[in-house]
C-alpha cells in the first residue's frame, strides 16, 4: 500500500521520525570525495542516542543519492537541505534506506544517521556502511526555448509505463522528471508507482541518457536497455521496468 502525505502531515512525520537530540549527542563529519570521484563510502558504528551528521557540499542541478546498509533494522538516515533547522526533505524511517533526487539549491546538505527512539532507549548499536554519490547533470545545455517546469529543476514532468516487481508487464504508471542537456543528453528521474517526482516521500531512480547509452547513477545496479522504435525499454535488477519515449529525452 502506498501512503501519500500532505505537507502538513509530512511536517508531523519529521518530528516523529527524528530522535530528540541534544547538541552533545550529534557528531558532525564532512564527506570528502577523492579527486575525480563522484562517490564516497563510510563505514562506522553508532550506539544509543548518538547521531552522526554527514555534510556534503553540492551545486544546484546536481543529483545526490545516498544508500545505507546496516546491521540494525532500526538504523536510518534523514536528508536536510541547506539552511534546515531540523526539517528533512527525506525521512528514512518512512521511505527506506535509499535516497536519490535533484538538488534545488547550492550549499551544504546534511545526511543525519540515527537509531529510532525505541532502539536508542535500549542502548542498541548499529554497524553500517553508507555511500554518498553526487552527479552532475547531463552534458551540454538545453536550448533556451526548452523552458523548465515552474518551481522545479525539470524541463518536463509526467508519467511513463512501468512495473516494480518480478512481472515486467509495465501495467503501472511512474512519475518522471527530465533535465535535458545537449540534444540526446538527459537525466530522467523516476518515482515509484503512485508518486510523482515532487512527492517528498518518493525515492527516485535516476537514469542518464547520453546519445545511444543509458546508465544509472548507482553503478551497483544491473541495467538492461533496449531501443525499440521511438521508445527505450529499461530493466533494472530484474525488478524494475520502465518505458521511456524519446520525446522525454529530446522534448517536443
Q: How is 169-200 classified by DSSP, letter by letter?
A: ---EEEEEEEEE-STTEEEEEEEEET--TT-T
Alpha helices, H only, the chain = 7-17, 92-95, 117-121, 246-250
| SS3 state of residue 216 | strand
The yes-or-no verdict on residue 233 having pLDDT over 80 is yes
The yes-or-no verdict on residue 94 having pLDDT over 80 is yes
> Angle at the Cα of 75 (from 72 to 80), degrees rounded to 5?
165
pTM across the whole model:
0.65
The yes-or-no verdict on residue 12 having pLDDT over 90 is no
Query: How confident is the model at residue 31, as a pLDDT?
Result: 94
What pLDDT, in 10s, does the model give residues 32-90?
888 777 789 999 999 999 999 999 999 887 888 899 999 999 999 999 999 998 899 89
CATH number attached to the domain at 7-12+20-135: 2.60.120.380
For residue 43, CA distances in Å to 31, 46, 55, 116, 146 come to: 12, 10, 15, 19, 42
- Produce one character per residue of 198-208: b if its CB has 16 or more CB atoms within 10 Å, e if not: ebbbbbbbbbb
CA–CA gap between residue 138 and residue 131 (Å, rounded): 22
CA–CA gap between residue 234 and residue 23 (Å, rounded): 46
Q: Could you tell me the three cell numbers for 80?
A: 536536510
pLDDT band of residue 141 (cuts 50, 70, 90) is: confident
The yes-or-no verdict on residue 175 having pLDDT over 90 is yes
Query: How confident is the model at residue 1, as a pLDDT?
Result: 28
> Angle at the Cα of 196 (from 191 to 201), degrees rounded to 5?
75
SS3 content of the chain, % helix, strand, coil (to 5): 10, 45, 40
Q: Domain limits of the chain?
A: 7-12+20-135, 156-250
Mean pLDDT, residues 125-151: 87
What pLDDT, in 10s, does the model give residues 181-221?
899 999 999 988 888 887 766 778 889 999 889 998 777 78
Mean pLDDT, residues 9-35: 62
The yes-or-no verdict on residue 14 having pLDDT over 60 is no
Amino acid at each position: 500500500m502506498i501512503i501519500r502525505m500532505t505537507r502538513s502531515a509530512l511536517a508531523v512525520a519529521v518530528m516523529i521520525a527524528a530522535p530528540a537530540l541534544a547538541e552533545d549527542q550529534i557528531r558532525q563529519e564532512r564527506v570528502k570525495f577523492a579527486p575525480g570521484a563522484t562517490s564516497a563510502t563510510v563505514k562506522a558504528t553508532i550506539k544509543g542516542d548518538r547521531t552522526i551528521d554527514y555534510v556534503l557540499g553540492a551545486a544546484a542541478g546536481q543529483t545526490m543519492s545516498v544508500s545505507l546498509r546496516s546491521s540494525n533494522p532500526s538504523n536510518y538516515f534523514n536528508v536536510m537541505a541547506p539552511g534546515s533547522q531540523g526539517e528533512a526533505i527525506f525521512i528514512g524511517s518512512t521511505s527506506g534506506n535509499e535516497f536519490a533526487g535533484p538538488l534545488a539549491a547550492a550549499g551544504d546538505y546534511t545526511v543525519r544517521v540515527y537509531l529510532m527512539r525505541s532502539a536508542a532507549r535500549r542502548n542498541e548499536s548499529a554497524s553500517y556502511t553508507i555511500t554518498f554519490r553526487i552527479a552532475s547533470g547531463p552534458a551540454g545545455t538545453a536550448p533556451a526555448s526548452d523552458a523548465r517546469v515552474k518551481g522545479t529543476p525539470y524541463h518536463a514532468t509526467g508519467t511513463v509505463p512501468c512495473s516494480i516487481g518480478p512481472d515486467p508487464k509495465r501495467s503501472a504508471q511512474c512519475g518522471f522528471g527530465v533535465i535535458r542537456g545537449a540534444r540526446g543528453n538527459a537525466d530522467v528521474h523516476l518515482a515509484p508507482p503512485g508518486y510523482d517526482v515532487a512527492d517528498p516521500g518518493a525515492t527516485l531512480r535516476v537514469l542518464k541518457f547520453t546519445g545511444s547509452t543509458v546508465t544509472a547513477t548507482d553503478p551497483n545496479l544491473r541495467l538492461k536497455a533496449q531501443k525499440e522504435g521511438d521508445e527505450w525499454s529499461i530493466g533494472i535488477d530484474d525488478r524494475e521496468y520502465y518505458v521511456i519515449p524519446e520525446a522525454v529525452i529530446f522534448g517536443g
